[in-house]
Amino acid sequence: MVKVRTKDVIDKFKFELICGEDGINRPITTSDLYRPGIELAGFFDFYPAERLQLLGRTELSFFYDLDPEVRRERMEQICTDMTPGIIISRGQEPPLELIEAATENDVPVIRSHYKTTRLSSHLTNYLESLLAPTTAIHGVLVDVYGVGVLITGKSGVGKSETALELVKRGHRLIADYCVEIRQEDQDTLIGSSPELIKHLLEIRGLGIINVMTLFGAGAVRNYKKISLVINLELWDPTKVYDRLGLDEEKIKIIDAHIQKLTVPVRPGRNLAVIIEVAAMNFRLKRMGVNAAEQFSNRLTDVIEEGEHDDI
């Protein structure tokens, strides 16, 4: 499925379409932009025609120094049937040879008043957000003390009820039931809610509630970076649960590895408080304070001192 087309870029940044209107529905398949400087010099062996092409002041200054026949030939080679568009920065006038070649091959020629570097940055960020790898996970995403906590577990274990208690305690809901996740870079996962169920929370026995309507706009947000995964599972008396927190389990989502905690559920456990403490402890660890390691070091020191006393 095509995620973004040339028309989307034009509409997003209010670019001026010079020519090539018949090609504005061409797909953009990569967030990488290209400045065809070496191609203007005649080397096309590795020309990435599938990228958006960006012509700045440097490229056009070099281009105008070429012979008219060479200019026409270069532009015919740059404007291919798979090129999604050619963008002229700084509001410069597009060369006549470019307009003729682009019109013949239905390649959109677009003009922007942004400086070339700023234009490249804005375009890359926009395209990366749309073309990033995506997945969907059954769970609840909550912003707890600034930490994006993804709560997972089997259906009926109490994920939504825990999220409701967290919202009542002043934290913010991002998504319930289905969390859409996109990977923006190597270790950055951004979670959001499908538009259909945005701001909604399902509570068994109560039904669907609108969190923003009940608790106000401060109780929700549209997206959040996922930093911690907490898996809720029914208490298993035969299973040994981590009691120190020294072993950090990771879960792989798309290509990123996120810290995962497993919290057993049984009557009398306040899951909302446990998740709050888990989020605060996660922040402390990022600042270099690890209570489990400190306890382990103190315990090791006591044991070593006892051994020396026995000697």
Is 308 a known active-site residue? no
Tell me if 239 is assigned to a ligand binding site.
no
Ligand-binding site membership of 3 (annotated): no
Q: 156 a known binding residue? A: yes
- The beta-carbon contacts of 246-250 under 8 Å, at least 24 apart in sequence, are 246/292, 246/293, 246/296
**Torsional sign, CA 95, 98, 100, 102:** negative
Residue 198 annotated in ligand binding: no
Angle of helix 96-105 versus helix 68-78 axis, rounded to 10: 40
Catalytic residue among 57, 138, 169, 250: 138
155 labelled binding-site residue: yes
Question: In angstroms, how far is CA 198 from the centroid of its own chain?
Answer: 18
Q: Is 113 considered catalytic here?
A: no
DSSP 8-state assignment for residue 218: G
Catalytic residue (choose from 239, 243, 252, 308): 243
Residue 257 annotated in active site: no
**What sign does the CA torsion over 114, 129, 81, 36 have?**
positive
In angstroms, the CA 230 to CA 157 distance is 12
Does 37 belong to an annotated binding site?
no
159 annotated ligand-binding residue: yes
Residue 154 assigned to a binding site:
yes
Q: Is residue 39 part of an annotated ligand binding site?
A: no
Indicate which residue of 71, 74, 159, 182 is catalytic. Answer: 159
* Residue numbering of the annotated binding site for Mg(2+): 160, 202
Binding residues: 153-160, 202
Annotated binding-site residue numbers for ATP? 153-160
Active-site residues, by number, are 138, 159, 243
